[in-house]
Every structure is written in C-alpha cells, then in structure tokens.
Amino acid sequence: MSHYARANAIQEIATLPPVTASYDYKSEKVEAIYGINVFSIDKMEARLPKSVFKTLKAAINHGEKLPLEIADVVAASMKDWALERGATHYAHIFHPLTGATAEKHDSFFEPEGQAKTLASFAGKALVQGEPDGSSFPSGGIRATFEARGYTVWDVTSPAYIMEGVNGSTLCIPTAFVSWTGEALDKKTPLLRSMSAINKQAQRLLKLFGLDNPGYVAATCGPEQEYFLIDTRLYHQRPDLYTCGRSLFGAKPARGQEFEDQYFGSVPDRVLAFMMEIEREGFKLGIPLKTRHNEVAPAQFELAPIFETANVAADHQQLTMTLLKKIAPKYGFQCLLHEKPFAGVNGSGKHVNWSIGSAAAGNILEPGSEPHNNLRFQVFTAAVIRAVSLHQGLLRATVASAGNDHRLGANEAPPAIISVYLGTVLADVFEQLAKTGTAASSKKGATMQLGVATLPEFLKDAGDRNRTSPFAFTGNKFEFRAVGSSFSVSGPLTALNTIVADSIEYIADAIEAATKGQGAKDEKAFKAATAKLLKDILSEHGNIIFNGNGYSKEWHEEAEKKRGLKNLRTSVDAFGEIAAKSTVDVFKRQGVLTKRELESREEVAVHTYNLVVGTESKLALEIGRTQILPAATRYALELSDAVSSVKGLKNSKLEKIVELTNELDAALVALEGVREKFAGSDDVHAAAKIGRDKVLPAALAVRKAADALEELVADDQWPLPTYQELLFLR
C-alpha cells in the first residue's frame, strides 16, 4: 500500500461533509418502534388462541415443558406476522462453539402449480432444523463423516425480524445439538445452567419461608467496549482486517495519557452511528441504555439494561452483529478485539450478573441494612464459595489469545480471580466470619461540597474497585475479565452452574439441620445459617480482596499466602475447562457431560492455535512484503544522498541499516519457530510452543519494525500509523 493511498485517505477524512440524519428522528418516537420487529409476548397474546398462548407463556416465564402439538398454531401465527413485516425467508439462529452467530435461510414460499406460490411454515420447520453438525467446531464430538446436527427452537427467546437491504428474514433463536444429543453450541448449556440455578434457588428460598418463589432467573447486563476506525485507513491495514488487531504500530506522540477521551464529547459521526445502533436495537427489543467515549482514543462503550441471561446473551450477539453491520454506513469499521492497539486501553465486556424472581425480587439486593438481611448473606456466601472453589474455571471462561494481551495489564483485571465486596459488605462479612452473625452495617454520609447551589446527596459508604475481576456493585456481581469479542454465554453458564452447586450445598445442610422445616424451625434455622456462614467464610474468605489487584504485592500475597491460582496465560487456564472439579460440578447440575467439557477444551486450544498461527503468518507476510522493502528502499535512498555529498555523515542511516538487519533476522527466526509450531500434531503441545516461542518471536519482529517506523520517511512507510488510525474520525 503506497503513501499516496494513505495521504488520499487522510485528505478525504479531513474534508468529510457534516453528518446528515438517515431517518426522521425528530418525529419518530421510541415508543412507536421499540420491539416492532420482535414476536413478543403481547403480539403472541393478540394472535394466538388463549389456550395456546397460556401454554406458551408458562413455558417462557416459568420454564414449563412445551407440548409439541401447539407448534403448528404458533408457526402459522409467526409466519403471518413475519410476512406482514416484509419477511420472505426464515432462519434458525444458533451460536456454535466459534462464539459467532450462525444461520441458514429458507424461503417461506413454495411453488403451487405452474404460476403460483404458497407461503408455508409448518410447526416442524419452527421446532427443528438440520445444519451440518460436522462443519462447526465440536472438539471430537462429531467426525467429518458424521454430519447430522439439529437446531431446536428456544421458546424462551423471542423470534425477530432482521431487516436487510432487499428484504427481511424471520430469525428464530435455537439451540444446536448433535445427532447424539450433545451440545454443539453455547446456548444449550446456558439453558441447562439456568434450569439448575432455578431448581436450587427455589429450594433455598422455600427454606427461607417463601412458599411460591416463582421461576428464579439468572440475569445479565453486559457492557460492550469497541473501537471505531475509519474504513479508508482500515482497508490499508491487512492486520486489522484479517486479525482484528494491529500486529505493527509505533507508539504515537499522543495516546490516552491526556485522559481527555473518557466521557468526552462524542464526535458527530460517531454519535450518529451510536444513535442508529440504538434505533435498530430498539426495534429488536434490545434495551440499550448507556453510550459514551471510553478511555482510549477511538474507543467507545454501550450497555443495555438487565435481562434474563438467555435473552441477554442472544441480544449481546445481536448487538455485536449490529455494530459490525452499521459501522460501514458511517465510514467506520468496528473492532471488537480485546487489544487492537498496543500501548492503549483494550476492550472488555463486563458481565453484570444477578439472580431473582417476581416473588423474591433481586436476591442479591442487600437493602439498607445488609447485616439484618440473612437471605442476602446466605446467597452471597454461596457466590463467594462458588468463586473460591472454581476460580480456575472462571479464569478459563475468559481465556483466549486475544484476551491474553489485555488481562493482567494496568487497564483490566488481573488473571488472579478474586471477589471484591466493598467497604460495607466487607465489614458485614468479617463479622459473619467470626460468629456467623452480624450486628451492624456501615452507613453513607451526606456529601458536603461547600457550594450552596449544589444539592446535598448521600455518599456511598464504600468506593468501587476497578482492578477486581469479580466485584459486587450494588445489587449484582460484575465479572470484569470477559473479553470484548466473547459470547457472554460461556461465563454465564459457568457462573450459573457453580453458584447453583453452592446453593445446593447450603440447602442440603439447612434441610438436614432443620429436618426439612427451614425457617419454620426458627431456632434450628438460625443456628444452621450462622454455622454455614462462619464455615464458608472461614474456608473461602481468602478469595475476598478489596485492595489494588494490579500491585506486585497482591500477586505475591494471592499465590504464596492465600493459595489462589494465578493462571497468567490462556494456555495455563485451558486445563481447567475439563478438570475433575469442573466435570464433577457440571455433572451434578446436569449442565455438561465430561465429553462435552473435553470437547470445549479441545476447541478452545485449537482456536488459540489458529489465532497464533494466523497472526504469526501475517506478521511474516507484512514484514517481508511491505515493511522490509520500505526500510530497504529508504536506506538505499538515504545512502545515495549521503554518498553524493562530500563529507556528509548520517547516524540515522547506520541506525536504519542496523534495524533493517535486525528485522530480517527476526523474520527468519519467526519462520523457524513457526515450522516447529505448525509441525506439532498435539494441539496442547503446539499451544505451548505458540505461547513460549512463536509469540515472543513475533514480538521481536514487531519491535524492529516499530523502531523503523519512527525513522523511515513518512512518504515511504506503507501502513497507516496509530496516530492516523486512532485520531482521524
């Protein structure tokens, strides 16, 4: 790519006309479009026979079994609604182990006679589809010759219309399983884990005296960070459009150190993009709430309101699709990689998680007096125990080659999993650890600002902690280590499963101590819960940490004094996916079998190797075909200039020659370790080679190339620079 292409792109960006509205936002009301493309509960009620609707609603809201005989009625109503919305096709939408979204479209229309067609959509087509089960990652569950797989309608997640340029498609959320019934996707285990936490939470709530707790749902509100890069510059960076991150790039004169990007004024073009994302999201029933500039230049964030975990996971996948789909309309490309640019803030996806029901409310709501809220204390203790026992598994759910560039740096939670409770709850749980009961809670004070016109407000009793990977934040836990490109289904499945298991442990103990009476035997109940709280916090309180997770002292304390796991890289963490402790808890809760877990570990390791292999191959290609030739040409040009002027000395030429030789040697070394990496038949051994040999060799290539970028004449440098990528928008 020549400097002229860069220069032309920069000139085009500099002369962009003002952004104009792509729709009449002044007259269009959110109330009129929200959920317009969703086959929601209210639309079902209006279109379905009462008996069918009642059965369907019970399945959606209470997890009751859905009779297959109603499928034809639902399919007919869904088809009629979709045709009215302009749909011509339907598609089963599923989430294979790639982490992406997959779909296969079928037309509603079938020929009838020679000149007519008939719109048809039977209940069988709604309930079941059949994509190729061996064409998606399965970790050995499906061999190449074993092709059959099934998509199965997920009634708990509403169907929706996805609008296209030349037509619309009815999209039906589904689970994806093999011919043998094993999960080949992310949704099936998530649904199973939600059933597990509902079952165990209902047991415990009934022991607390809530006879009809209703369906207890895990809820989720994922925050999505992303970068927007101008399309013209993006297409001149093979690393960005192939790998999603820059493999080369010298640190710009200005990065994020001015700290003026975060919550700054949103540029007009970006704001127009954000507004269209929200509009399209609203039409699909996605409750988008927050938008703002993030820490790094060209980095932004959006976040929805809480929904049930399954719907939130589907909406999160849809949101990522919308971000990628709509960005080009505004001349952008959206980057969802965890670390697109070295030296600036990476992107995460904070997964806010809680549990509750209509009758019980938010079970993780501490109230104004958490020391008196025994139910909250017990359920929170279950979470603490779960995280302590399965810290390695939680680390593994956020393991990837991309997230390795982010976790542990001074911008994201460390690879050590710990629980932050905050000042108020830390004090309450310290009391519980001593006696099993708490007598008081710290209170917030009125904030006095010294300005009469500024109203007084109540100051929180404790601060927040941005360095904690698993933090309590008001009435929920925030899992902050999840990567921006991740499906939230994996972390949610793990959280639901391990917490369900701890709730079961507590419920079993209370049932035994009270002979099944629970809170009806008040004395025995209080004694049992006090003992449980004391024992759990005594055994698992070492996972609680309210300090600076970035500090060197914490790493030493966590490993040496507390015995916490420090799984620094994904390769260290992958083994936790099918470890015995994981297999045991997933088996007890009926979420995944040993074979299903082993398949997921295999897929995770294989994906890691694919990423390392792709990035290192591309680093060789860009280094040899673009950067090395540019440096060599400039060195020759500079050498000619120096030799043509008598007595002229140039230390810059010597440095360029030195770095060019260093780059050439680094490229040769990278090619050598890649051969060993690619030649390994053992995926786990290859992953270790990738981590220990290939990645350091690629970094050596980058080091020499980035140093050359700061010396080679700008009109000969082939790639758009960080300065251009991050600031031209």
Which tens digit of pLDDT belongs to each residue from 331-353? 999 999 999 999 999 999 999 99
Residue 674 domain-assigned (yes or no): yes
Q: What is the CATH number of the domain that holds 140?
A: 3.10.20.70
DSSP category for residue 269: H
What's CA 16's distance to the chain center, in Å? 33
- Give the SS3 label for residue 302: strand
Which tens digit of pLDDT belongs to each residue from 378-436? 999 999 999 999 999 999 999 999 999 998 766 778 889 999 999 999 999 999 999 99
Residue 323 pLDDT more than 70?
A: yes
Q: Are 481 and 171 in contact (CB under 8 A)?
A: no
Rounded average pLDDT over 206-229: 96
DSSP category for residue 443: -
Count up the domains in the chain and report the number.
Answer: 3
Q: Are 22 and 276 in contact (CB under 8 A)?
A: yes
Which tens digit of pLDDT belongs to each residue from 438-448? 999 988 777 88
Q: What is the CATH number of the domain that holds 641?
A: 1.20.120.1560
Pair 179, 196 in one domain: no
All residues at 6 or more sequence positions from 165 whose CB lies less than 8 Å from its CB, including other chains: none
Determine the pLDDT at residue 648. Answer: 66
Pair 689, 712 in one domain: yes
Which of 39-53, 138-152, 229-243 is predicted least confidently? 138-152
Residue 307 domain-assigned (yes or no): no
**Residue 263: band (very low, low, confident or very high) from pLDDT cuts 50, 70, 90:** confident
What token pair was written down for 236?
């001149």
Which residues span the domain enclosing 654? 607-727
Pair 420, 517 in one domain: yes
Pair 163, 193 in one domain: no
Residue 210 pLDDT more than 70?
A: yes
Average pLDDT score, the chain: 92
Determine the pLDDT at residue 145. Answer: 67
Rounded average pLDDT over 138-160: 85
**Residue 144: band (very low, low, confident or very high) from pLDDT cuts 50, 70, 90:** low
- Give the SS3 label for residue 361: strand
Q: Are 340 and 411 in contact (CB under 8 A)?
A: no
Residue 705 pLDDT more than 90?
A: yes
Residue 461 domain-assigned (yes or no): yes
**Residue 211: band (very low, low, confident or very high) from pLDDT cuts 50, 70, 90:** very high
**Where a domain ends, among 561, 592, 623?**
592
Pair 94, 145 in one domain: yes
Determine the pLDDT at residue 28. Answer: 84
Give 631-657 as a 3 state SS string: HHHHHHHHHHHHHHCCCCCCHHHHHHH
**Residue 114: band (very low, low, confident or very high) from pLDDT cuts 50, 70, 90:** low
- Which of 616, 246, 223, 190 has its CA nearest to residue 397? 190
Q: How far apart are CA 606 and CA 98, in angstroms?
A: 11
**Residue 1: band (very low, low, confident or very high) from pLDDT cuts 50, 70, 90:** low
Rounded average pLDDT over 618-638: 96
Residue 164 domain-assigned (yes or no): yes
- Give the SS3 label for residue 177: strand
- Which of 586, 605, 574, 600 has its CA nearest to residue 138? 600
Determine the pLDDT at residue 45. Answer: 95
- Give the SS3 label for residue 419: strand
Which tens digit of pLDDT belongs to each residue from 8-54? 888 888 788 878 777 777 788 888 999 999 999 999 999 999 999 99
Pair 121, 150 in one domain: yes
Which tens digit of pLDDT belongs to each residue from 159-175? 999 998 888 999 999 99
Residue 101 domain-assigned (yes or no): yes
All residues at 6 or more sequence positions from 285 whose CB lies less than 8 Å from its CB, including other chains: 34, 35, 37, 38, 40, 158, 160, 315
Alpha carbon of 533 to those of 108, 262, 367, 423, 537: distances in Å?
57, 41, 19, 19, 6
Pair 62, 167 in one domain: yes
Residue 383 domain-assigned (yes or no): yes
- N-terminal to C-terminal alpha carbon distance within the chain: 21
What token pair was written down for 407?
């976790």
Determine the pLDDT at residue 115. Answer: 57
What token pair was written down for 676?
């060993």
Residue 22 domain-assigned (yes or no): no
Pair 658, 565 in one domain: no
Determine the pLDDT at residue 308. Answer: 96
Q: How far apart are CA 347 and CA 400, in angstroms?
A: 13
Residue 2 pLDDT more than 70?
A: no
What token pair was written down for 633?
């040409």
Q: Which amino acid is at 404?
A: D
- Give the SS3 label for residue 111: strand
**Where a domain ends, among 535, 568, 592?**
592
This prediction has a pTM of: 0.94
More confident call, 166 vs 535: 535
Pair 463, 565 in one domain: yes
Long-range pairs for 523-529: beta carbons < 8 A, 24 or more residues apart: 525/207, 529/374, 529/377, 529/378, 529/436
Over pLDDT 70: what percentage of the chain? 97
**Where a domain ends, among 138, 163, 185?**
185
All residues at 6 or more sequence positions from 510 whose CB lies less than 8 Å from its CB, including other chains: 204, 207, 518, 525, 528, 529, 532
Determine the pLDDT at residue 40. Answer: 95
Pair 48, 112 in one domain: yes
Determine the pLDDT at residue 667. Answer: 98
Pair 545, 654 in one domain: no
Which tens digit of pLDDT belongs to each residue from 452-471? 888 887 777 666 777 899 99
Which tens digit of pLDDT belongs to each residue from 598-624? 999 999 999 999 999 999 999 999 999
Residue 299 domain-assigned (yes or no): no
How many other CB atoms sit within 10 Å of the CB of residue 625?
12
Determine the pLDDT at residue 4. Answer: 75
Determine the pLDDT at residue 113. Answer: 60
What token pair was written down for 290?
């927050």
- Which of 153, 151, 133, 152 has its CA nearest to residue 143? 133
Determine the pLDDT at residue 662. Answer: 98
Pair 508, 612 in one domain: no
